[in-house]
Structure 1
Amino acid sequence: MFTLKSYSPIALAVAAALTHTSLMASDTPPANDEMEVIVVTSDFRQSSLDKMPSSISVIDQQQIEDEGAQHFEDVLNGIANFNWSGGSSRAKYFQIRGVGEQEEYQGAPNSSVGYIIDDIDMSGLGMISSMYDLQQVEVLRGPQGTRYGANALAGLIYLKSNDPTSVFEHGAELQLGDDNLRTYSGFSSGPLTDSGKLLYRVSLQQHEQNGYRDNLYLGRDDTNGRDEFTGRIKLRWYATDDLVADLSLMHADFNNGYDAWTLDNNGFDTLTDEPGVDKQRTTGGSLKLTYSGADSFELVSLSSMAQSDTHHGYDGDWANPEFWAARSCEGEPCQYDYTWNKLGDRTTLSQEFRLSSTEAGRIFDGSTDWLVGVYGLRLTEDNDTLEIYNGWEDRLLAEYEATNLAVFAQLDSDLGNGYALSVGARLERRESDYSDSDKDAFDPSENMWGGHIALSKTLSPGQQAYARIARGYKAGGFNMSLPVSLSDKKEFQAETLYNYELGLKSEWLDGDATTHFSLFYMDRRDQQVSASQQNPDEPQKFILYVENAGSSHNYGAELEANWYATDNLKLYGTLGWLETAYGDYAYQDKYGGLVDLTGRELAHSPNLTYSAGATYRSDLGWFANLTTSGKSEFYYSDSNDSKSEPYTIFNARVGYETETWSAYLWGRNLFDEKYGVRGFYFGNEPDNGWADKQYIRYGDPRQLGVTLNVKFM
């Protein structure tokens, strides 16, 4: 049965659209006399992708729409040397070039991969990433020490939604599919005043589906379901000829189930009596003020805030009392009932001011652009974690707050003869304070620095080579509620990463084809490693902590290619090669034995990632898109040798497009590949003495559906 919540986004969007009756032109790209120039909006100066001396992937709006992507999960497999951890209902833990978190059950928010939505910092909370009405997705590989500091050790994911338009545009979209999928979307954009000085854009989406799991114990097929609302409002005000204000507001309410694990590794038929949840409600906004009235500089003020309520919980025994009572534990019916729940409340406030030179303000005889800025971030988070084991409760209340203050500067110089040099640095001070109901208390503080040096050379009008050295950093922290035996691991130090990179960006065939190629070597120092131990006396409990390993080294390459083979056919693909290895690192297992990981590959770091796609548009309006992507095997965890299987998945979309409406048939994972996205290796069955065993969570199976789209002007 449809609810008012299900109807409201589409109803609002259609109502807005019907306020104007003339038709808008199709978004279908024109015949390609030359390729579109892609601008990287996360950069200080919003530079052209082809001119940026670093490895960056940009997925633009046309590709997002061609592939029918609804969530960031639907496009991330097309990014070279990129992976994610499926320990939640939606992807929110990411790894770039082998660096990143697999989960965050406890501890301070401290991400290796930054995640920004319209200048709102959502690092560590990236599940609210609807692709509807997005301008583009940008993935910056390697440390972003100058631009983003402590939350971008491995790189950055930046989502940019479409800006308001000076003419009226409206649209609505309906998507239906198996798994009881229903998605209602709509947008409206245009001027709010006759003068055209105040513009608006509103986009809304409600997404629902059952989640591909059948709970045989409860007789339900929606215990892993997705119920996701995303709303965005953007205003652009041309206050004066010299001052522009951009306001972005976002509200997301993801009310998802989390019932994804099975004891028999079937993966899709669950037995839980208390299915888990994975909820996030976020309200946030950003305000960007751009003043260009001075001759020699431009001033930008960027303010943002976000408040998020989260609830992640799971049925840790993965079954029910009747199931366990039917099994024998030392001659008696087993009794095993365990649940885990964590409620979180996070608030972030940030402010950045930066001055950047205009053409008239360049220094060194007009050869060098300059930029200086200051940044401040205030983060507070309260957590309430409750574990219930056979009726016994263990609750931990925790409060955390951190303040980051930074100064940064960058110089971009034209050295002549096709050479350009970019130099940047950032100094950051972080102070934090933590306390909890177990009487743990920490107040670490530290100074950190990062930056980059990049030299590029234009070899010909369509060829640019570059060399880049970047230093990134990730703040240290602390481990909560450790036993006395691990008291020496209460705190861990900051991690630094040096990234050395060579690249070549090229145009071919009179601009109809492009390739971006990069080679990299990463030197990680004081690497932060997530470790876990299953308590042999209380097998339902895990001891989770982070510690510093010795230096480690990752290296590899990325290749991205696009080719407009004809006016009607576009081909594209990516290829990533990655080699990773621990430095000097060993840890204790649950029995006190020493496990040496020195030289072993890092978790969630496949040696090979690849994707390929083709989009065809006929002159008569017919459309087809086919994509494939895959990964080689990888370790699931740093704490065991459990591995995934290599996999390849195929997606397809066919349809008919006119200037005012379009209709599509689509399929994802067409050959119903069963592929793992997260794995554990531990004991979770008391009837076999809690013997260790591999458990796997699988990605989404095959899904078929239809999409209808209409646009108005």
Structure 2
Amino acid sequence: MHIPSELKPIAWSIVIGGCLSASHVSARAENREEGLEEVIVTGQLRETRQLELPTSVTVLDSTAIAARGATNLEQLLNLAPNVNFSSGASRGRFVQIRGIGERSQFIDPVNPSVGLIIDGIDFTGLGLAASTLDIGQVEILRGPQGTAYGANALAGLINMTSRAPTETTEASVAAELAEYNGRTLSAVVSGPLTERLSYRLAARNQQSDGYIDNAYLDREDTNDIDESVLRGKLRYQVGDDLQLDFTALYLDADNGYDAFSLANTRTTLSDQPGWDRQQALAGSVIARWSGDERFTLQATLSTADSDTEYGYDEDWTYVGFHPWEYSSTDNYLRDKANTSADLRLLSTEASKLFGGRSSWVAGLYYRIESEGLQRNQDFTSQYDTDNAAIYGQLRTALTDALALITGLRLEQRTAEYDDSLAVHSGNEESLWGGNVSLEYAVADSTLLYATLSRGYKAGGVNGRIISASVTNPDIDSAVFEFDTEHLLNYELGIKGGWLENRLQAQLAAFFQDRSDVQAKQSIFDPSDFSFDDFLANAAGGETVGVELELNYLASDALRLFASAGWLNAEFEGFESTAHVDARDDANSIALAPVDLDGRDVAHAPNYQFFTGAEYSFTPNLMLRLELEGKDVFYFSNSHDEKSAAYELLNGRLTYRGNRWEASLWGRNLTDEDYYIRGFYFSNAFGNNPANLYAPEPYYQFGEPRVAGVSGTYTF
């Protein structure tokens, strides 16, 4: 379902006129008489109402997640404006916010641009762990989070929080059956153990054959999903002034990966299909102490250990397909572990500064991470980082309506890299970020704000290129390392609730100035006809954009919602070395540098939108319709291949009984073909002998039309 260009202005008027924030897109009928519910954001230094926060944030609660039918974070990202993802795996594990973010990881370690925190546990770069099992709230904060989170949140942060243990006993089971042999079973139980101790347990197993047919192996499950998640929580109310929250998480994902076809269809010919696996064991302790009238103490200690395995059939075919019987696979085993501690003091009314006009936050942070890689059987590497930071924020009421917020974070980072090819590198950096915001409250319902924030992303080493330079003398030592990237974000916004809080809206306009942009490049090695990736620094980049979120409770029976984003993210002064000009002879390739100055960065569509409606025919029967879409975007900074613009239609019909509910649903109802990852093979390094290795693009398809039924029973 593609909207013709002449109809897009009409479509956009529907989006903007119909409209809502994706946050809280599915509140139950019993809350509707009081208008829309209040949303509290927890992913900042203080818990703050969403409509009082001077930054762009999308908040999705548990009913929004259920209405979407999402089992993983990737199925929620399209609800937020100017947020995209790339797959190249069983799920979209790499997120881009406002055009900034990684798109893949192979040999070298990655310093992420988008942070991922789940119940206080750092899962940055490990998107398979982002299961929505029993998640109570997902917050997508856009723009640099330099004060609160530092080096791993240059573009933004995703904060996921699961539901807390309850004071009364409750339990539920849920099941789902879908096309492509999809089946999901989950259960939750919660309640008190003693007067001061309560618990919550949640478990889920999800399986699907996937939507790829492997014609060579005569199988329909080579791109399957097989994920099990178990989460346990304890809440111990030690006393009136001390609360301890314990969380433990276990994940076992054993997914297949067989997505690319020489014919650009969902039928593959791989003889050795790949996989996308992750086993993770993680936990956190969050303490809140209010025993002193001058401050409240919050402390978070977390640890996570994840083993991942990512592999694929490099030639996408079988032995004998190529004239010289070429056959190759690639495999990456990673062991990634981190431990972090965050100690935070928050002022109370008794300790406000400057005559009681300034509240404050002060904190200490420490994080260690190790990442070990084994690629196939012939290469290993080890990457260890230490981050220590001190941070603080001050909010000063200048008048009854005007407030100034200032924040600063100072961070010290050390990194050590070693590999089996005798490459050793270490670096130490002093980094800083922060924010200055001016808020103006118009009456009690409207907030105007202006924010300047600074973020940073640490530099690093290109270990693979250093190793490749031994056999390729054309590699310049200047590309062995890359510098720290910095980002200045200028943002103006308005947000509020009107019409007796039946209408909530957020509108933001921003300009982002990037310096020393870290961009992926490639160098061709003629000795084995391979490309070696590395990161280089572009001179800079500029991003201009607008984000809109609206939520309108039109009547007790009808809710309208939408979000929309417009984005123009471009390079400045950047020359790519990855474009291949021609094959000179059997042993050499000519690389033609291409000037990318002014070109859009990869995975940054110029527009995105999400809109829809929920209508209650009766108190028990509800219909939900959604329309989401994206503009075209470049798949990579190394070639000019683009996605196609697309629009997806989703629907869900739900009937609620006293203790149960059942839903009939469908995603991508018009069976639109769209792409979530793409590559381009030039005439210097073609891929398909059937067309004499002519230049061709290749695509990984998104989900086709999928329909199913789901049900929940509450005890």
Relative to the length of structure 1, the TM-score reads: 0.92
Deviation at 1:618, TM superposition (A): 3.6
- Aligned CA distance change for structure 1 residues 160 and 349 (closer, same or farther; 3 Å): same
The aligned residue for residue 711 of structure 1 is 714
Say which of 685, 688, 691 aligns to 2:687: 685
Q: State the aligned residue count.
A: 668
Counterpart residue number, 1:521: 511
- Alpha-carbon distance, 1:457 to partner: 0.3
1:583 to 1:401, Cα distance in 2 relative to 1, 3 A = same
Using the alignment, how far apart are the partners of 1:112 and 1:511 within structure 2? Answer: 35
What corresponds to 1:658 in structure 2?
A: 657
Q: Contact (CA 8 Å) 2:114, 2:155: kept in 1 or not?
A: yes
Please say if residues 496 and 506 of structure 2, whose CA atoms lie closer than 8 Å, have aligned partners that are also in contact: yes
Larger displacement relative to structure 2 (483-492 or 134-143): 483-492
CA drift of 1:460 comes to 2.3
Asked if structure 1 preserves the Cα contact closer than 8 Å seen for 2:576 and 2:595, the reply is: yes
Q: Which residue of 1 aligns with 2:374?
A: 384
Aligned-pair distance for 1:110?
0.9
Aligned residues of 2:395 and 2:403 also touching (Cα < 8 A) = yes
Deviations 1:184-232 (A, max 9, x none): 0110111111x2x101111111000011011111111000000011111
Residue among 683, 697, 700 paired with 1:697: 700
Opposite residue 72 of structure 1, the aligned amino acid is: L
| Structure 1, unaligned runs of 5 or more | 1-25, 325-332, 387-393
1:350 alignment partner in structure 2:
340
Corresponding position: 1:476 with 2:463? no
Q: Match of 2:446?
A: 463
* 8 Å contact from structure 1 (residues 249, 284) kept in 2: yes
1:225 and 1:257 in contact (8 A); partners too: yes
Q: Is the contact between residue 141 and residue 157 of structure 2 (CA under 8 Å) also seen in structure 1?
A: yes
CA distance in 2: counterparts of 1:276 and 1:60, whole angstroms? 34
Q: How far apart, in 1, do the equivalents of 2:42 and 2:279 lie?
A: 26
1:581-620 alignment runs, 5 A limit: 581-588=570-577, 589-590=579-580, 591-620=590-619
Letter in structure 1 aligned against 2:697? Q
Q: Is the 8 A contact 1:379 1:402 kept in 2?
A: yes
Which secondary structure state, in structure 1, belongs to the residue aligned with residue 378 of structure 2? strand
SS of 1:426 mapped into structure 2? strand
Supply the distance in 1 between the matched residues of 2:694 and 2:372 (Cα, whole angstroms).
35
1:306–1:347: 8 Å Cα contact kept in structure 2? Answer: yes
- Paired letter, 1:348: N
613-622 or 700-709, larger mean C-alpha shift: 613-622
Q: Is the contact between residue 67 and residue 625 of structure 1 (CA under 8 Å) also seen in structure 2?
A: no
User: What corresponds to 1:570 in structure 2?
Assistant: 559
Provide the secondary structure at the position in 2 that maps to 1:73: helix
Q: 2:464, 2:533 within 8 Å by CA — same for their partners in 1?
A: no
The code of the aligned residue for 1:315 comes to D
Q: Aligned pair 1:192/2:193, yes or no?
A: yes
Give 1:632 shift: 0.4
Secondary structure class of the residue paired with 2:320:
helix
2:627 is matched by which residue type in structure 1? T
Secondary structure at the residue paired with 1:544?
A: strand
One-letter code aligned to 1:551: G
1:550-561 maps to which residues of 2 (within 5 A)?
550-561=539-550
Residue 10 of structure 1 corresponds to which residue in structure 2?
A: none
CA–CA separation in structure 2 for the residues paired with 1:457 and 1:361: 24
Which moved further from structure 2: 580-589 or 636-645? Answer: 580-589
Q: Secondary structure at the residue paired with 2:51? A: helix
Q: In 2, Cα distance between the equivalents of 1:485 and 1:434? A: 23
Question: What is the match of residue 271 of structure 1?
Answer: 269
The 5 A counterparts of 1:173-322 are 173-193=174-194, 195=195, 197-266=196-265, 268-322=266-320
Q: CA deviation at 1:628?
A: 1.0
Within 5 A, what are the aligned runs for 1:94-133?
94-133=95-134
Shift of 1:136: 1.2
Secondary structure of the structure 1 residue equivalent to 2:239: coil
Deviation of 1:240 after TM superposition, in Å, equals 1.3
| 1:630 positional shift | 0.5
The 8 Å contact of residues 576 and 637 in structure 2, kept in 1 or not, is answered as: no
TM-score for the superposition, normalised by structure 2: 0.92
- Alpha-carbon distance in 2 for matches of 1:150, 1:140: 15
Aligned residue among 404, 407, 410 for 1:424: 407
**Deviations, residues 343-378 of structure 1 (Å, cap 9, x unaligned):** 000110011111111121111111111111111100
Please give the alpha-carbon distance, in whole angstroms, between the structure 1 residues aligned to 2:119 and 2:695.
44
**Residue number in structure 2 paired with 1:172:** 173
Structure 1 residue aligned with 2:378 = 395
Please give the secondary structure, in 2, of the residue aligned with 1:488: helix
Q: CA offset at residue 29 of structure 1? A: 4.1
Shift in Å at residue 623 of structure 1?
Answer: 1.4
Deviates more, 1:182-191 or 1:480-489: 480-489
The separation in 2 between residues aligned to 1:576 and 1:316, in whole angstroms, is 36
Q: Report Cα offsets for 1:428-476 as digits up to 9, x if no partner.
A: 0110111111111101111100000011101222111000000000000
State the one-letter code of the partner of 2:550.
A
Matched residue, 1:35: 36
| 1:45 paired to 2:46 | yes
Confirm or deny: 8 A CA contact 1:66 1:615 kept in the other structure: no
Distance, in Å, in 1 between the alignment partners of 2:141 and 2:226 is 30
Rounded to whole Å, the distance in 1 between the matches of 2:181 and 2:445 is 48
1:568-606 deviations in Å (ceiling 9; x for gaps): 211110010000111101122342321111110000000
Q: Distance in 1 between matches of 2:525 and 2:217?
A: 30
Deviation readout 1:154-179 (Å, 9 max, x if unpaired): 00011111111111111000000110
Instruction: Determine helix, strand or coil for the equivalent of 2:127.
Output: coil
Q: Alpha-carbon deviations, 1:310-355, whole Å to 9, x = none? A: 000000000001323xxxxxxxx33210100000001100111111
CA distance in 2 between partners of 1:384 and 1:336 (Å): 23
Pairwise CA distance, 1:105: 0.9
Partner of 1:371: 361
1:186/1:205 contact within 8 Å kept: yes
Superposed counterparts of 1:139-154, under 5 Å: 139-154=140-155
CA distance in structure 1 between the aligned counterparts of 2:178 and 2:613, rounded to whole angstroms = 23
Q: Which residue of 1 aligns with 2:587?
A: none
Measure, in 1, the Cα distance between the counterparts of 2:408 and 2:520.
Answer: 29
- What SS does the aligned partner of 2:567 have? strand
- Cα RMSD (Å): 1.4
Residue 510 in 1 paired to residue 508 in 2? Answer: no
- Encode CA deviations 1:284-308: one digit per residue, 9 max, x unaligned: 0110111110010011111000000
Aligned partner letter, 2:289: Y
Cα distance, 1:106 vs structure 2: 2.2
Q: Secondary structure at the match of 1:619?
A: coil
Are the equivalent residues in 2 in contact too, given 1:438–1:481 (CA < 8 A)? no
**3-state SS, counterpart of residue 409 of structure 2:** strand
